[in-house]
Structure 1
Amino acid sequence: GHNIHAAYYGGTEPTGHPSDTWGWAVQGALQIKNIPTGPGDTINIQAVYTDGATRYNFQNLAPQGFAMYGGTGVPGAYQSVGLAAVADGIFGLGTGISKVQTWGMRGAFNHNWDPYWSSSLYGAYAQLKYGNGGTALLCGPGGALTGLVGAAGITTCNPDFNVAQLGLITRWTPVKGLTFSADVTYTHLDQKFVGLIAPAAQAGIAKPAAVYELKDQNTVSMLLRAQRNW
């Protein structure tokens, strides 16, 4: 179980806070060995469902909230952006906590080319849903996004999102305990907002104050790594 303990409704203790609630997660894993592609090759599969315990799915490597930017074809828009926020639950002034539900699965096939070289093809998919309660608290009257919807032109306010990934990593271990690797990952953010937003300048990432189209996003990244174990 995961205890969800919320902050205060206001800035001080006398404003009160919602009662604690409990989240939970269930997960399962399967590893297949002795497959005909080669000695030591494996297939690994994992699946998880969470209710108010989102980090068991998205885990700590994923930021709590993030934005992905890309191009746009909307006249007058500077760029497009995809928005996603990870939470265990949502509450508003005087309300209880509305829990967030997620599910996901990931898998990988690892192949050993020889004693020094190996590669893995992997993929993952995760879905997060705020439910009717959480969506209403964010998008409904008095919700956290109400002003944004009215002022910036969001025509569909839906904080749910899905993330899919596909990657390939190749490793070279010239001596025991020393591994060099190259990891290429494709990520697709399927977000549910529709319309336009006009946020303030984002100095940390050099994005200007402008109009942005809300849109699904894709990105490709490459990680080069050297690891030494003693």
Structure 2
Amino acid sequence: MTAILYSVPASTSCLFVRSLAKHIGFDITVKNVDFGKNEHLTEEYLKLNPFHKVPTLDDGGYVVYESTAIAYYMLRKHAPESDLYPKSLQLRARVDQVLATVATTIQPKHLSFLRDSFCENLKPTEESMAAFEEGVLKGLELLVGEGPFSVGDTLTLGDLFIIANLAVAFNAAVDPEKFPKLVEYYQRVKAALPYFEEIYEPAIATIKERWAQAK
């Protein structure tokens, strides 16, 4: 039975999980949850995820939610030897640090910014844009580090999570020219993902469409 990933097209967390599944060859069926129709609040969905969030993975009846928990589960089950999660204890700690920082510090600020723009159809004020750049993009700059990838010299889970956030940010209101280091990193990681267009282009199109509708 193919696993089902309950998702939202332009969600950074969902894009992260979908990228990982593609990277390790884990076959999933993506089922979009329409928040506008309150599908995340239905009795059926709340049985899967009582916190009514996405992503949620149903792997043959075994349900996991929260993007990082899903990522660890998929990796340990389907690609335990993958370089996406280094063998070195210290490098693993760094990857964990990136994932935790994105999930708990950066993404809440990112989501708050996008909620106003996309759900309320309001373009950001100068103040909200400045706060977004300071709290999200400068935070991502710190995580990117000085090497080719966020942790060490090879692609890891950390990069998959960071690029999901950059793909959304760079196709909304952000002026990429203000963040040349992030642009270079984005292009480098993007080139390392042969499935980037497949996973991200529909999401990017959605983001651009919603942004164009904002007033």
Query: Smaller-chain TM-score range?
Result: under 0.3
Tell me which protein shows more helix as a share of its residues.
2
TM-score (normalizing by structure 2): 0.27
Tell me which protein shows more strand as a share of its residues.
1
Q: Which has the larger radius of gyration?
A: 1
Looking at both structures, which has the greater relative contact order when contacts are Cα pairs under 8 Å and sequence separation is at least 6?
2
TM-score (normalizing by structure 1): 0.26
